[in-house]
Amino acid sequence: MFTVTVTPDQLHMRQGAGTGFDSIGFVIRGTVLTSTAIDSTGTWLQVKEGGAKGKAGWCSARYLLPDAPIAPWLAVSIKEIGIKEYAGTDSNHPRIQLYLSTVNNLSDLDKLQDETAWCSCFMNWCVEQCDLVGTDSAWAKSWGNWRSSIPVASAQTGDIAVFDRSNANGGGGHVAIFITLDADKKNVLVLGGNQSNAVRYAWYPVDGVQHGTKYKLLSVRRSGM
């Protein structure tokens, strides 16, 4: 699907997606791997080394950087993979509260609650870590006016994907980092926040229904640095 580079000095490659699976060896910093699948949690990637004798297995996604030289926020975002809302309403994840704190159109109470919709807040936080200006908005569709619009056919890993989202309960939007399209170009793999209440990889339809929700990819944005 896409290529990734190992970021730590040594990283276990495992037989399955999780630390409970046996290690089949290490891959070292700078090794380029091909990712062929993601697990159900969106936090582990199935990868393979190059060459006829290259190993294949699973590695934690937060230590694998997709190739995106014009999108420094992607390197920021992968380190957040696995951050997830705390169960219940009595406790809130401090990391998500940090994302929420970067926008200016939420109430003080909303900024404390990790159940507050936070995909745009996460995107804003990632961009700001790169000393760039985001949208400062909790509204996902605000990213539809950010920097330059790119045709979907020309989208590259690291661009920002903006979706319309609607279901029986209402409508809204979603924003995340574009990774790749599937072979039929009907689904897009993105890395983002508030995807099943977590920072993770997930597939979304370019224009279709998933789990009772209609998604449409409205815009792909690029900063141009």
| pLDDT, averaged in runs of 10, over the chain (225 residues) | 96 98 97 97 97 92 92 97 93 98 97 97 98 97 96 95 95 97 96 98 98 97 84
Mind listing the domains of the chain with CATH numbers? 2-66 (2.30.30.40), 73-222 (3.90.1720)
Q: Is 207 helix (H, G, I), strand (E, B) or coil?
A: strand
Residues sharing a CB contact under 8 Å with residue 96, sequence separation 6 or more, in sequence order: 83, 85, 114, 118, 193
Q: What pLDDT score does 51 carry?
A: 84
DSSP 140: G
Rounded to two decimals, the pTM is 0.96
Alpha-carbon gap, residue 110 to 139, rounded angstroms: 13
Q: Tokens representing 131?
A: 């000393």
157 near 125, Cβ under 8 Å?
Answer: no
Q: What pLDDT score does 150 carry?
A: 94
- 81 exposed, middle or buried (CB, 10 Å; 0-12, 13-18, 19+)? buried
Q: Tokens representing 41?
A: 């949690």
Q: Is 53 helix (H, G, I), strand (E, B) or coil?
A: coil
Q: What pLDDT score does 88 carry?
A: 86
